[in-house]
Structure 1
Amino acid sequence: MEAKINAQTFINKLFFSITFLLSASLAFAQTKTVTGTVKDAKTKAPIAYATVAVVGAPAAAGTSTSTNANGEFKLVFPTSYVKIRASYVGYDNKDAFVTNDAVQTKEILMDAQDNMLEEVVVKAKKKKYSNKDNPAVALIRKVIENKDKNRLSGQQYAEFDQYEKMSLGLSNLSEKFVNKKIFKNYQFLFETDDSAKTANKYVLPAFIEEKISKVYYRKDPSKTKQYILGDQRAQFDPKFIDNDGLAAYFNKLYEQVDIYDNNISLVTNQFLSPIANSAPTFYKFFITDTIKTSQPWLVELSFVPRNKADMLFKGQLYVTLDGNYAVQGANMTVADDINLNFVRDLQVQLKFEKDNKSRFYLKTSTLGIDFSLTEKGMGIRGSRTVDYNNYKVGVQQPDSIYDGPSTVIAYNVENKKATKSLFETQRPLALAQNELNIYHNIDTLQKIPSFRTFMDIAALLLSGYKQAGPVEIGPVNTFYSFNPVEGFRLRVGGRTTESLSKRFYAESYAAYGFKDQKWKYFFSGTYAFNNKSVYSFPMHYIRASYKKDTKIPGQKLEFVQEDNFLLSFKRGDNDRYIYETNYGLEYKKEFLNHLTIGAGFNINKQTPAGSLTYQMRDENGQNKLFNELNTTELSVNFRYAPHEEFYQGKIYRTPIFNQYPIFTFNYTAGIKGLAKGEYNYHSFNVGAFKRFYLSQFGFADVTAEGNYIAGKEIPFPFLTIHRANQTYAYQLNSYNLMNFLEFVSDHNASINVQYYMNGFLLNKIPLIKKLKLREVFSFKGVYGGLRKENDPDDPNYGSKVFAWQRNAQDIQSSYTFGSEPYMEASIGLSNIFKILRVDYVKRLNYLDHVDAPAWGIRARVRFDF
C-alpha cells in the first residue's frame, strides 16, 4: 500500500514538473516589448538612470534596465509577466501594468519623497529645531568628517573615462507662438514639450555639445589632467556668434557639480554644499528614511535652508551605513524664494557607484536649469550630463602624463569624420532623437535666407556692427556724440571680415566735429600670422595704424569707446582735451596657456584743446605756451591669465571670471631724438586682479596696481594722469568722484575692491527680502607723488616742467598727492529690476580741491543671476 502511494506521489510530481517546464518554455517563447519614459509626477521632468524591472521575474537579461539621460527605457520580457516597477532614490516605487500586446509604450510618473521640513518638523511638541542632540546633524558631521577619504582628492592616483553632454533650447513655447507666420519655414525645428505641465507646449532645441575625455588625477603634487579625445557641437556661423565663447559661457552656467566641494558654482553664483564644513550652520537636516534594500544600507537625509532666500539647496542625500559615510546619491533643487534671478527651475541629480577599492565614486551627474524672465513665459531650458566610466584608483602613470596644461586637445580637430565616428562608437549614453536632430537642424537653419537676415539684425543690436558683404559697418553707438570741444560729433566707420581675407584685416573711421570744424581719422591694417580672425583666441598679429582724433588726458576706457553717446553726459568742468596724431606699430601673440606678449612702437604728437594749456612759468613768473608735444615710444607688455574664459564679441571680450588671478606688466620707454621725440623716460606698470569667493558671503573683486616712471623734467602728459570719471555712470576702474586731470604722479600704488554680498544681509530682513536686492560695497584708494625733478612746485625744477592746470577763475585744479592717499568708498544696491546697480559714492578726502564733489549717486547696468 505504501509503495503504491509513493509511486502515485512520484507520478504526480513528475506530471507537475513536466507541466511547469512546458508552461515556462511556452511563456519564454512568447515575449513583448515595452518602451516608455519615467518622469517626476509633479514637474514632468524625465528621471535619468532610474531602474525599471519586471515584477516577479528572475534576474536575467531583459528583465531589468535603467533609463537613459532623457528618462527613456526599453524592456523585452515574456508575456506571462504583467507588471513592471520603476525605482529611484528619493522617489516612491511606482508599478505599471502591461498588456500582452507585442509592442506597447508606458509613461511612469513617480512621486518624490517630499517628506522634508514642512512635514517632519514637530510643531505639536513646540520644539524648536536645534543641532544639539540631533541624530541627523550627528550623521552629517560624520559625512563631513569622512569627506577626504571618499572624494577624488582623497586618492593618491585616479583615472577615469569622462563623457559630457550639454544641450539647450527655448522652452515653454505656446502653440500660438509656434504657428506665427514668421516661423512658417521653421516648423521642422519645433518639438512637443513632454515635460510641460499643460498641453500644447513646445520646445526649440538650439545647442548641443559633447566631449569624450580621459582624465588622470595625482594628489601630490596636485594635478588633474584632461585629455579631450573628441569634441563636437552644433555651431552657428562665426560671423554672427563666437561659438567657443558661447560654449564657455554655457559651461559656466552649467558647471560640473562636486558635492564634496564646500562650495558649488552654478549660474555664476556659489551655493554652499549640504556637506560643506559649515553646512550645519546654514542648513536644517532630518532623517526621513532608512533604505534596507540597498547594500550597504542607506539613510535618507533631507535638508532645507535655514533662510529660504540664501544661495542654498534643498533636497535629499543618501548616505551609506558601512562606516565610510559616503554619499551614494543626491537630489537637489533650490527654494522658490531664493535670491536667484531668471531661474525658473533647477534640478541636480547625482548617482555614485563602487570602484575597485569598494569606495563610492561619482557615476553620473545631471544638472537641469530652466531660465526665464517670467514664471509662465518663454524660457531657455538646458541640461548637462557627465558620465564617468572605468574608474581606477592607485594606478600611477609616468610624470609625462600629468605635465603641461590641465586640458589638452588629444585629437585632430580638422578630421570631422574621425570625430563623428568616435562618438558613434564610444558614446556611453545614447542620444535621444531630438538631440540628434539638433546637429542637422542647425545646419539646415543657417541655409535659410530669412534666418540669416534675422541673425544679421540681432548682431547689429547686440554688437553694434552691420554686416555688409566682406565688411562690417559700425559701431553704431559712436555714430553720434557730443563734447565741449567738438560740439556735435558725427562718425562713421567699419572694418573688413574673414569673408574678404583671413590674413589681412583693415579698419577705419572718419568723424567730424561741428564746433571745432575739424575732421578726425583712423586707419589700420593688420596681418594675422595664424590665418585666423585677429579678434579670436589665440591672437597672433602685427598691426600698423594712423590716428588723428581728440582725447581726454589720462582716460583709458575699457569695453566702450570714448565717443560713445552715453558717455557724452558729464558733470562739472570737462573741456580739457587734446588733439592727438599717432602713428603706431603693434605686435601681439597669445599662447594656449593664456600668456600674452606684446610690443609696440608709437610716434605721437599732441596739441592742447579746450581749456587745456601746456605752459611753463620761468623764474620771472612769465608764462611760455607750448602748442604741441612730440614723443617716440617703444613698449613691451605681458599678460598672464591662467584658465581664462571669455565671450568674444565684435569689439571686446566679455570676461567669464573664475578664481584664478590675472597678472599684467607693461614697460614703455620714451626716446628723445628719435622721430622728433622730445623726452627720455621709462615707465613700469604692474597689476594683478583676482576674484575671491566667500561662499555665503558673496565674492570680492580685488585689483592692485603699481606704477613708476623714471626720468626727469617730464611734462605731466607723459606721467600718470589718474583715471577719473565725470559721467553719471559708475565705472569700475575709474575714480568716480575724481575730476579729469585732478591728480598727477610719477610713482603710485592703488587698490580697488568691489564686494558683492549677494543679499546675505537683506535676505534676513522681513518684507525687504521679497525685493531680492543685493548689497554691494566698494573702496578705491591711490597714493603716490612726484619727485622734485618732475614737480611744478619745486623751486629748482618748477620752471622746467609744465605748470599745474588752472580753471577759468585762475584757481589751481590739478595736483599731486599730499600726505595721504586719495580715497573713495561706496555702498549700493544691485539687482534693482534684476539689471541695475545704484551706488551712493562718498569722497573721503581732498575735499578742499576746486570743484571736488563730496558725494554722488552713480548707476550701472549689471545683469546678475
Structure 2
Amino acid sequence: MKYFLFSLAVFFSVVVHAQTKVSGMVIDETSEPVAFANVIFKDSNEGTITNDNGVFYMESDSTYQTLIISFIGYEDQEISLTSKVNYDMKITMVEATEQLQGVTVISGKQSKKNNPAVDILKKIWAKKRINGLRRFDQYAYDKYEKVEFDLNTIDSALMKRKIFKGLEFVFQDLDTSRITGKTYLPIFLNETFSTVHGDNILKEEKENILGNKNSGFDNNQAIIAFVADLYQEYDIYDNYLKFFDKSFTSPLSRTGVDTYNYALRDSAYIDNKWCYNIVYYPRRKNELTFKGDFWVNDSTYAIKNINLEVTKSANINWVKEIYIEQEFDVVNDSVFLLKRDYMLSDFSFQKKEKSRGVYGKRTTVFDNYKFDEEKPKEFYKADKNPFDPLDIVQDDSFWEKNRLEDLNKDESGIYKLLDTLRTVPKFKSFYNIASILGSGYVEIDKWDMDIGRVYDVYGFNQAEGHRFRLGARTYRGQNDLWRLEGYAAYGFSDHKFKHGLAGKFLLDRKSRLILSGGNRRDIEQLGVSLTATNDVLGRSIASSTVLTVGANNRLTNINLSAASLEMEPITNLRIGVGGTFRTLSSALPDDFSLEYIDGDSPTGIASEIRQFDFNALLIYTPGKRTIGYGVERRDINDNYSTLLLKYTKGIEGVWDSDFDYSKLQFSYSQPWQIGGFGRLFSTIEVGKTFGEVPLGLLNVIPGNQTIFSNYGTFTNLDFYEFVSDTYASLHLQHNFNGRLFSRIPFLRKLDLREIVALRGVWGELSDANIALSAPASINTPLQAPSDRIYYEYSVGVGNIFRVLRIDFNFRGNYLDSPAARPFGITGTFGFSF
C-alpha cells in the first residue's frame, strides 16, 4: 500500500484563496532557531507554534495586519504584515531583561510546582471521567468521515519530469495547505457516513456504515482497509494516543508533567465560555510527543479545542508531519462533545523541509447526539464487521443529506478527475505497476484471473536445488463468494514437478459458512510451528531457504489432501471441522529419516507415513476488525488477541491410515501496549499427544536455521533438535520504540529502536514414542527439553537505516548438545512506521 500511495502522483485541484498567509523562521540573537515559540494573529485566537527548526506557517480566512511572536524568556515581537501574503520572514527574538510583576517565567525543564498551567492540568485529570460521552449511560450520534490523499510540494521541476508527459493537465491548478504552506494536488478521496451507538454500562460500541464513496477506485477494499488501519479512533483524554502503531504521550496524560513543559498563555471567552489557553512542548527530543496548545473551560475543565503537532525529532519513520485539531461543542452549560476532528499526516521518505511526499488528511464530523436510549445487549453482539459495498453505495441525494461538511472545490474535483485519469493509458500503467507491487499478483481482467504471487517465483533448498514456481487464482472482485487457487513448481536438482490446488466457497454470508479443500504435493520443512495449519497452500520455508545456518537437510515430501467446513456464528468466533489425509517421507533419505518400527512390513521398518486425521478448530479473536463480505476478508487492525483450541484425532485404517491417536493444542497470543514504553507481544502454547506416533507426527520444537529473525521460533535451535509429545512454550518480545536510546546523546539522532526477547519451552517424549521411531534416531536426535526448560534470549537494534533490524541471540542452556549454537545473529528487512 505504501507503493500505491507514492505511485499515484498524478492529480488536480482548484485554488481556494485565504485572506492572510504567513511563513518564516524565528531565531534568537545568536541565529539559533527558537523552537515552540508562539505565533498568533493580533486580536485573534488563531495561532500556531514554531517547529523544532523554528519554522512556522499559518493562514486565515480573515485579514490581519499584525503578527505577534512570543516565547517565555524573550520579549514579544509585533510584526506588521504589509500584504495578505508574507512568506519567508525571519524574526529575531531578544532575551527579556525584565519580568512583568505577577508573571512567572518558565523556561527549559521547568518546575512542576507553582505553575498555574499544571494546576489546571490536574483539574482536567480529576474531571475527565465525567466529561463528554462518559456522562451518559448510553449514547448515539451520526458520524461523517472523509479521507483525502494529496501529492505535496509541487514545483516546476516536478511538473517537467518525463513521468508526467501527457498528464500535464492535472497541474492546471494547485492549492496550498493551511497547515504547512506547501502546494498540493489531491489524488484520492473516500467518504463514509455511519451511525454509532454505545453503552458505557455494558462497555460496548457499535458502528453501522450506511454509505461509502471512493474517487475512481470502485470501493477498493485494500485502500479502505489501509485507511481504516492508518487512522484508528483515539481519545485525547487517554494517557497515550496510538498512531501508526506507536504510542504518543497525550498532553492531557497524568504522566504529561514528566514529558511536557506547560505554560498558561491567555484566557478569553469562546462561545460564551471563559477558557484558559495552555501551551505545551516536549521536555526532551526524540520521544513520541507533541507540541501545541489547548483551550479549557474554567468551570468544567473540559477541553474546548486542542491542536497537537508531532515534533520532527519524534522516532517515527516515513512520516514528516502529524497535525491534529479537535473542536468541541457546548451542548448545554456543562456538556462538551466532540464536533470536529481533523488530522493531517505528511508521508515522506525524508524529514527535510523541502522533501516531497503525500498528505493523508482525515476529517471527521459528529452530529445529532442522542443519550440514554437503551439498547439490548444482543444489539451490540450482532455482526460488528458488516461492510458490503453493494449495499452502501448511495446516490447523490444521500450525500447531499448526510454529508455533515460540504466538500470544497478541490475535493469535489477529485471524483471527476479520477474518472478521467482511469481512461489515460499512461495512468493505467502506473496503477497496474503499483497494484502488482502491493498485492504480488498480475491482474488479467479478461480472464477474471491473477497470476502470482510474483514474490514466490524463485526459491532454493538442498533437496530441489534451484526451484521455480508459477501460481494463479481466480479473481472476479474483492468480494468473490468463491475462489480457486493453484501453483506448479519444478526443482532442477530432483527433476520433479510439484503442485498445489485449493478452493474456498462461501455457502452462507450471515454465518460465514465456508467449505474449503484441496491437494498439495511438494517438499516442506515440517516443524516451523507447534500449532500447524492445515491450509493446503500454506507457504513452506523450504522453498526459500537460500541462506541457512548449518545443514538444512531435514526436509519432507508431503502429499496432503484436506477438506474443511468453517463458520462464524458470533463475530470473531470461528468454528471449524475437517479431515486431512497425508503421506510423509524424507526428501533426503541419506541425511534425514522418518522411519519407524512397523510389524506388518517385511523388513519390520516403514519409511512412509500414511495418516488420516479428523480436526476440530476453535479460534477467538476479540477486538479484531475486518472489512468485506466475500470468502476472503481483510483485517484492518493488529491489536487484537488470538485464542486457538485445536483437537486432532488420528484414525487408523481409513484409507490404510497407520496410527490411532489424539492431540490437543491451545495457544494464546496477545499484543500489549505498555504506555510510552513500547509494545510487548506474547504467545503461550501448550499441547499433548495421546497415543503412540512416529517422528513425522510428533510436535517438533520450531527451530530456525535461516538468517532471518522469525517470531515464534527458537533461533538457536536446529530443525528437529527437540521433539515432544507434551509441551509448553512461551515467547515474549518487547520493542521499546527508541525510548531508551533517545536518552543517550550520541545515539539520539539515529532514531534506533531497542528490542528484547525471551523465549522458552519445556517438553516430554515418552519411551514408547522413542522406541517407535528408533530407526530415525540414527541421524535425528529423539530428545525433548524435559530435564529443564530450554530458553533463549536476544537483544536487538531496529530501525537501522529505517529498514533493517539486527538481533543478537543467545542460547541459555543445553550447550553440551552436539553442534549446539550458543550465539547467532539474525535480521529482518521491512518498512514500518
Q: Paired residue for 1:63?
A: none
Q: Paired residue for 2:730?
A: 751
Native 8 Å contact 1:463 1:651 kept in 2: no
1:601 aligned onto 2:579: yes
- Aligned AA (1:379): G
- Aligned AA (1:247): I
Q: Deviations over 1:81-132 (max 9, x none)?
A: xx889999x999999999xxxxxxx779999x99999999999999962112
Deviation of 1:176 (Å): 2.9
CA distance in 1, matches of 2:280, 2:383: 35
> Using a 3 Å threshold, how does the CA distance of structure 1 residues 86 and 625 change in structure 2: closer, same or farther?
farther
Q: Paired residue for 1:466?
A: 442
> Using a 3 Å threshold, how does the CA distance of structure 1 residues 290 and 564 change in structure 2: closer, same or farther?
farther
Q: Paired residue for 1:777?
A: 756
Match of 1:252, SS? helix
Q: Paired residue for 1:284?
A: 261
Deviation of 1:839 (Å): 0.5
Q: Deviations over 1:518-554 (max 9, x none)?
A: 22222334444369xxxxx997543332222111221
Q: Paired residue for 2:719?
A: 740
1:697 aligned onto 2:677: yes
Q: Paired residue for 2:159?
A: 178
Deviation of 1:231 (Å): 2.3
Q: Paired residue for 1:632?
A: 612
Native 8 Å contact 2:722 2:781 kept in 1: no
Match of 2:664, SS? strand
Q: Deviations over 1:221-244 (max 9, x none)?
A: 222233333222235268xxxx32
1:863 aligned onto 2:807: no
Deviation of 1:500 (Å): 13
> Using a 3 Å threshold, how does the CA distance of structure 1 residues 573 and 400 change in structure 2: closer, same or farther?
closer
Residue correspondence of structure 1 range 468-483 to structure 2 within 5 A: 468=444, 469-470=446-447, 471-483=449-461
Q: Paired residue for 1:440?
A: 416
Q: Paired residue for 1:228?
A: 209
Native 8 Å contact 1:548 1:581 kept in 2: yes
Q: Paired residue for 1:722?
A: 701
Native 8 Å contact 1:191 1:204 kept in 2: no
Aligned residue among 481, 495, 499 for 1:517: 495
> Using a 3 Å threshold, how does the CA distance of structure 1 residues 646 and 348 change in structure 2: closer, same or farther?
same
Deviation of 1:631 (Å): 0.3
Native 8 Å contact 1:446 1:452 kept in 2: yes
- Aligned AA (1:741): Y
> Using a 3 Å threshold, how does the CA distance of structure 1 residues 414 and 512 change in structure 2: closer, same or farther?
closer
CA distance in 2, matches of 1:480, 1:463: 17
Q: Deviations over 1:227-278 (max 9, x none)?
A: 333222235268xxxx324323223323334211111111221111111122
Deviation of 1:718 (Å): 0.9
> Using a 3 Å threshold, how does the CA distance of structure 1 residues 86 and 347 change in structure 2: closer, same or farther?
farther
Deviation of 1:142 (Å): 1.2
Residue correspondence of structure 1 range 639-718 to structure 2 within 5 A: 639-645=619-625, 657-711=637-691, 713-718=692-697
- Aligned AA (1:833): F
Q: Paired residue for 2:275?
A: 298
Match of 1:758, SS? coil
Q: Paired residue for 2:28?
A: none
- TM-score, normalising length from structure 1? 0.79
Q: Paired residue for 1:383?
A: 361
1:490 aligned onto 2:468: yes
Q: Paired residue for 1:26?
A: none
Between 1 and 2, higher relative CO (CA 8 Å, sep ≥ 6) is seen in 2
CA distance in 2, matches of 1:195, 1:546: 57
Identity level (%) = 27
- Aligned AA (1:487): G
Native 8 Å contact 1:52 1:73 kept in 2: no
CA distance in 1, matches of 2:818, 2:776: 13
Residue correspondence of structure 1 range 392-403 to structure 2 within 5 A: 392-393=370-371, 395-399=372-376, 402-403=379-380
Native 8 Å contact 1:165 1:208 kept in 2: yes
Q: Deviations over 1:596-640 (max 9, x none)?
A: 333322211112231122345799xx9954221100111122222
- Aligned AA (2:112): N
Q: Paired residue for 2:777?
A: 805
Deviates more, 1:586-595 or 1:698-707: 586-595
CA distance in 2, matches of 1:716, 1:625: 13
Match of 1:506, SS? strand
Native 8 Å contact 1:554 1:722 kept in 2: yes
Q: Paired residue for 2:22?
A: 41
Q: Paired residue for 1:822?
A: 790
Structure of larger gyration radius: 1
Native 8 Å contact 1:116 1:302 kept in 2: no
- Aligned AA (2:428): R
CA distance in 1, matches of 2:615, 2:741: 48
Native 8 Å contact 1:117 1:303 kept in 2: no
Unaligned runs of 5+ in 1: 1-34, 45-50, 56-69, 75-82, 99-105, 532-536, 793-797
Residue correspondence of structure 1 range 542-561 to structure 2 within 5 A: 542-555=515-528, 561=539
Native 8 Å contact 1:229 1:409 kept in 2: no
- Aligned AA (2:777): Q
Deviation of 1:188 (Å): 4.3
Q: Paired residue for 1:334?
A: 310
> Using a 3 Å threshold, how does the CA distance of structure 1 residues 503 and 232 change in structure 2: closer, same or farther?
closer
Deviation of 1:197 (Å): 10
- Aligned AA (2:381): G
- Aligned AA (1:728): I
> Using a 3 Å threshold, how does the CA distance of structure 1 residues 860 and 572 change in structure 2: closer, same or farther?
same
Deviation of 1:840 (Å): 0.3
Deviation of 1:855 (Å): 0.7
Q: Deviations over 1:456-487 (max 9, x none)?
A: 33333343322344233222333332222222
Alpha-carbon RMSD across the aligned residues, in angstroms, is 4.3
Native 8 Å contact 1:480 1:491 kept in 2: yes
> Using a 3 Å threshold, how does the CA distance of structure 1 residues 748 and 429 change in structure 2: closer, same or farther?
same
- Aligned AA (1:157): Q
1:149 aligned onto 2:149: no
Residue correspondence of structure 1 range 234-273 to structure 2 within 5 A: 234=215, 236=217, 243-273=220-250
1:586 aligned onto 2:586: no
> Using a 3 Å threshold, how does the CA distance of structure 1 residues 804 and 245 change in structure 2: closer, same or farther?
same
Deviation of 1:143 (Å): 1.2
Q: Paired residue for 1:21?
A: none
Native 8 Å contact 1:236 1:446 kept in 2: no
Deviation of 1:572 (Å): 0.8
> Using a 3 Å threshold, how does the CA distance of structure 1 residues 528 and 115 change in structure 2: closer, same or farther?
farther
Native 8 Å contact 1:355 1:392 kept in 2: no
- Aligned AA (1:751): L
Count of residues paired in the alignment: 769
Native 8 Å contact 1:151 1:260 kept in 2: no
- Aligned AA (2:705): Q
Match of 2:23, SS? coil
Unaligned runs of 5+ in 2: 1-15, 26-39, 45-57, 72-76
Q: Deviations over 1:378-413 (max 9, x none)?
A: 2110111121223344x3334369533484769x85
Deviation of 1:742 (Å): 1.1
> Using a 3 Å threshold, how does the CA distance of structure 1 residues 508 and 672 change in structure 2: closer, same or farther?
same
CA distance in 2, matches of 1:318, 1:125: 19
Q: Deviations over 1:326-365 (max 9, x none)?
A: 2111121122211121222221111112113532222211
1:168 aligned onto 2:149: yes
1:848 aligned onto 2:824: no
Deviation of 1:285 (Å): 1.1
Residue correspondence of structure 1 range 303-314 to structure 2 within 5 A: 303-314=280-291
